[in-house]
DNA sequence: GTGAAAGCGCTAACAC
DNA sequence: GTGTTAGCGCTTTCAC
């Protein structure tokens, strides 16, 4: 029974209750040293009795570590990030860490602000950055950072300095989509790009299409969301020279395009093929179900967290191989048949 | 320029660099006292020069507060919770707090564990609880708690002890759906209930249907997710005596039911009306778009956070009125016309 | 205005 | 095995 003292019980209270020194209690609580059964019993009893919990802040002041990692994503509402968070969380919990999560709302300035407030509180950070590489690199000098980006381009990777980077290859992702569309006889692809994002996907797509002489029109949006897709759809679909394939930076945008296209009276994939990226859970449930590239969001989160915690704890493990993106062909895309005579189906 | 000392700069370093005492620096940094312009300038300069950031842990040890609030949700992947988180985050940031977020994966034991680890680190907690009221009440005695639940039932509300509770009224939500379906001439409603959840919605639904002599069959699932809906669909739709309306605990489950129903060859709303709860962003994008009840997830997050921070800071503000749930009638539901003669439309 | 001194709750050397 | 001592980085009386 705790007497009418202010605040929660401290080490001192446990020490007094069990008639030992504070350091003894500390060592028992932290299992950092063994004591006689008698003493251990008494201390454990007092801990239970008082409901003692160590003050993690006090501990951090001394050790300089907080057993906390920060996560900064652009939008928790995006299932890609939500899955990443879940991956990070499961690893963190298993290894005894707490997660400090923040949502930058797709705003770079806010992202920088959040990084600033998180850094003094955490042992390391996992970031899906919208900030430029140089700025991120500055933060990477203060605390270990693990980034989801995986720039194919060496210069940019070096700009990130000491930060770990890990993620599905963007160039490869774009390339897969390009090859697939080329093979399907498409002649004009519109890509809905995320304004502040890496150009990896775009370059991969263009590389694959360019060789085949297929046109690629690029549209930009600042919002990698359903709304972004909705808003961009008009420009993409209602201009003259309509594309026969639309590729979007991510699935959310694709869902937006799909909804808006339906409103305009288009039918997918009859009027154009639609391809997203991420394979969020909703992608398989639309009608038609969305063709997309699986980016293994959860796995990326797991591997980022493992790598970050390894670095924090000084464990020298081999860097894991990132998953290979996988094209999920579904109903929203179909081959074009421009010169085929109108012979029924197939 | 910081010399080759270990770790980040501390108050002491700033004090030395600016030739004043530590306490002076502390007071200037915290704006807790004013000094001569000359001294203030010197200190500010040193702070900038060294890149000093206060150590929040050290501060917490003394003040007993961390300017951090914890959030525990069952599943970040559920847009309802993601929106709630966003609401909480925006308020927290505006008021100078950091958010410690965790995902209990719909697991009560894990939820309890997470609460235990968060409590010593935060000034208060926002919880969307799956745990029983009594257990939650225990935690509420340690730190201020704000809960999303809003049990209509007084006994349960009292069981929650000192915790703030705030959310859209479950009974009312169920009732609205019941009235709507009754009015549409439905005769047999199946409700897909979340096993460990409050019965408020169910009771509201039954209250509205019972009066009209409409049958209500209850199915239970432990997963308030797309998968939960997929899995429950078979039992709900393939038994004899098929319902002419399906209501689900939330929209995710409804999406699952919709997808599975399509696979079975059902057509919605021709074969049955489908109604969800939450109005997640995807609800309006399915085909047919989902009829649902808007629960104002983001607003709830905002108001919970405001209320919690008010309590933490001892501000005595009036408790806000929770939003009224709103029925969003869309294409997935339609009136039944059992005895009407086959006279075209309308 | 400014500073000295004490101490928050805890860990880490080092005695014994 | 157990205790003593010092001190992490900071805030907070209370003097001057």
How many other CB atoms sit within 10 Å of the CB of residue B139? 22
Instruction: Let me know if A345 is exposed, middle or buried by CB neighbors in 10 A (0-12, 13-18, 19+).
Output: exposed
Start-to-end Cα distance in chain B: 80
Minimal C-alpha gap between A179 and chain B (Å): 29
CB burial readout B284-318, b (16+ within 10 A) else e: ebbbbbbbbbbbbbbbbbbbbbbbbbbbbeeeeee
Interatomic CA distance for residues B242 and B264, integer angstroms: 13
Do β-strands B326-328 and B291-294 pair in parallel, antiparallel, or remain unpaired? Answer: antiparallel
Q: What is the DSSP letter of B192?
A: E
Minimal C-alpha gap between B310 and chain A (Å): 20
Q: What is the DSSP letter of B212?
A: T
Domain boundaries, chain B: 11-63, 68-168+297-323, 170-295
Q: What is the helix (H) or strand (E) element at residue A237, kind and residue range?
A: helix A226-238
Q: Within the 248-307 window of chain B, which residues sit less than 8 Å (CB to CB) from chain A? A: 255, 258-259, 262, 281-282, 284-287
Which of B86, B255, B285 lies at the smallest CB-CB distance from A259?
B285
Q: What is the DSSP letter of A260?
A: H
Residue A284: closest CA among B260, B232, B79: B260
pLDDT of the residue at A172:
95
pLDDT of the residue at A3:
45
DSSP letters, A187-234, are -EEEEEEETTS-SHHHHHHHHHHHTTT-EEEEEEES--SHHHHHHHHH
In this chain, the answer to whether the domains covering A68-168+297-323 and A170-295 adopt an identical fold is yes
Here the tokens at position A157 are: 């990777």
- Is the CB atom of residue B29 positioned under 7 angstroms from any atom of strand D? yes
Q: Which long-range contacts (CB under 8 A, 24 or more apart) does A88-96 make?
A: A88/A126, A88/A301, A88/A302, A88/A304, A88/A305, A89/A301, A89/B102, A89/B103, A90/A302, A91/A301, A91/A302, A91/A305, A91/A306, A91/A309, A92/A305, A92/A309, A95/A309, A96/A67
Question: Angle of helix A170-183 relative to helix A200-210, nearest 10 degrees?
Answer: 30
pLDDT of the residue at A338:
79
DSSP letters, A90-123, are HHHHHTT-EEEEEE-TT-HHHHHHHHHHHGGG-S
Q: B11-63: which CATH topology?
A: 434 Repressor (Amino-terminal Domain) (1.10.260)
pLDDT of the residue at A104:
95
pLDDT of the residue at A168:
93
pLDDT of the residue at B276:
98
Give me the torsion for CA of B120, B122, B128, B131, rounded to 10°: 10
Residues 6+ apart with CB under 8 A from B87: B297, B298, B299, B300, B301, B302, B303, B304, B305
Residue B74: closest CA among B147, B171, B144: B147
Q: Which of residues 10-49 of A touch strand D (CB under 7 A)?
A: 19-24, 27, 33-36, 38-40
CA angle B56, B59, B60 (to 5 degrees): 85
Chain centroid to Cα B135, Å, comes to: 19
Q: What is the helix (H) or strand (E) element at residue B227, kind and residue range?
A: helix B226-238
Spell out the per-residue pLDDT of chain B, length 346, in tens. 444 457 899 999 999 999 999 999 999 999 999 999 999 999 999 999 999 999 999 999 999 999 999 999 999 999 999 999 999 999 999 999 999 999 999 999 999 999 999 999 999 999 999 998 889 999 999 999 999 987 776 677 777 778 888 999 999 999 999 999 999 999 999 999 999 888 999 999 999 999 899 999 999 999 999 999 999 999 999 988 899 999 999 999 999 999 999 999 999 999 999 999 999 999 999 999 999 999 999 999 999 999 999 999 999 888 888 999 999 999 999 999 876 544 444 3
With an 8 Å Cβ cutoff, are A60 and B57 in contact? yes
Residues B51-96 pLDDT 10s: 999 999 999 999 999 999 999 999 999 999 999 999 999 999 999 9
Interatomic CA distance for residues B211 and B188, integer angstroms: 13
Here the tokens at position B121 are: 């680190």
Kindly give the parts of chain A with pLDDT less than 70.
1-5, 153-154, 339-346
Chain centroid to Cα A187, Å, comes to: 33
pLDDT of the residue at B158:
77
| Cis amide bond preceding A46, omega within 30 | no
Rg (CA), chain B: 26
- Is the CB atom of residue A65 positioned under 7 angstroms from any atom of strand C? no
CA atoms within 13 A on the CB side of B101: 29
Name the residue with the least CA to C1' distance from nucleotide C8: B62
The answer to whether the pTM exceeds 0.85 is yes
- Is the CB atom of residue A337 positioned under 7 angstroms from any atom of strand C? no
- Is the CB atom of residue B12 positioned under 7 angstroms from any atom of strand D? yes
Interatomic CA distance for residues B169 and A317, integer angstroms: 51
How many other CB atoms sit within 10 Å of the CB of residue A174? 27
Q: How many CB pairs under 8 A join A and B?
A: 113
Which chain B residues have a beta carbon less than 8 Å from that of A255? 282, 285
Q: How far is the CA of A30 from the C1' of C16 (A)?
A: 23
Residue A128: closest CA among A289, A295, A336: A295
Here the tokens at position A23 are: 């350091």
Which chain A residues have a beta carbon less than 8 Å from that of B287? 262, 286-287
Do β-strands A164-165 and B164-165 pair in parallel, antiparallel, or remain unpaired? Answer: unpaired
CATH architecture of the domain formed by A68-168+297-323: 3-Layer(aba) Sandwich (3.40)
Start-to-end Cα distance in chain A: 81
pLDDT of the residue at B161:
76
- DSSP 3-state of A175: helix
DSSP letters, B175-190, are HHHHHHHHHTT--EEE
With an 8 Å Cβ cutoff, are B55 and A77 in contact? no
Do A198 and A172 contact (CB within 8 A), yes or no?
no
Interatomic CA distance for residues B157 and A324, integer angstroms: 50
CATH number of B170-295: 3.40.50.2300
Residues 6+ apart with CB under 8 A from B146: B124, B125, B126, B127, B163, B164, B165, B166, B304, B305, B307, B308, B311
pLDDT of the residue at A304:
97
Interatomic CA distance for residues B188 and B203, integer angstroms: 16
Q: How far is the CA of B222 from the C1' of C5 (A)?
A: 59
Residue B145: closest CA among B13, B309, B265, B2: B309
Residues B190-211 pLDDT 10s: 999 999 888 999 999 999 999 8
Do A111 and A126 contact (CB within 8 A), yes or no?
no
Do A144 and A123 contact (CB within 8 A), yes or no?
yes
């Amino acid at each position: 029974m705790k007497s009418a003292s202010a605040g929660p019980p401290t080490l001192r209270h446990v020490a007094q209750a069990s008639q030992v020194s504070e350091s003894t209690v500390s060592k028992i609580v932290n299992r950092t040293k063994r004591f006689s059964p008698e003493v251990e019993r008494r201390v454990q009893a007092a801990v239970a009795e008082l409901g003692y919990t160590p003050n993690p802040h006090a501990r951090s002041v001394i050790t300089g570590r907080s057993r906390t990692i920060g996560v900064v994503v652009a939008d928790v509402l995006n299932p890609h990030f939500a899955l990443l968070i879940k991956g990070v969380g499961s690893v963190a919990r298993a290894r005894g860490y707490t997660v400090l999560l923040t949502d930058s709302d797709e705003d770079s300035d806010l992202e920088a602000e959040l990084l600033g407030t998180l850094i003094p509180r955490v042992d390391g950070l996992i970031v899906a950055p919208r900030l430029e590489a140089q700025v991120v690199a500055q933060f990477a000098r203060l605390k270990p950072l693990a980034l989801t980006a995986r720039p194919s381009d060496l210069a940019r990777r070096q700009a990130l300095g000491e930060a770990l980077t890990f993620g599905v290859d963007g160039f490869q992702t774009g390339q897969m989509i390009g090859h697939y569309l080329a093979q399907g006889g498409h002649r004009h692809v519109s890509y809905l790009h995320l304004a502040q994002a890496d150009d990896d996907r775009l370059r991969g797509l263009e590389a694959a299409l360019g060789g085949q002489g297929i046109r690629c029109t690029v549209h930009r949006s600042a919002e990698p969301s359903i709304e972004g897709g909705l808003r961009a759809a008009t420009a993409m679909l209602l201009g003259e020279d309509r594309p026969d394939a639309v590729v979007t930076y991510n699935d959310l945008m694709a869902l937006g395009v799909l909804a808006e296209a339906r409103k305009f009276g288009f039918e997918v994939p009859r009027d154009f093929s639609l391809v997203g990226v991420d394979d969020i859970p909703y992608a398989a449930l639309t009608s038609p179900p969305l063709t997309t590239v699986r980016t293994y969001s959860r796995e990326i989160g797991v591997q980022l967290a493992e790598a970050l915690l390894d670095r924090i704890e000084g464990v020298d493990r081999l860097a894991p191989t990132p998953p290979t993106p996988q094209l999920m062909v579904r109903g929203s895309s179909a081959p074009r048949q421009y010169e085929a005579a109108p012979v029924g189906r197939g």
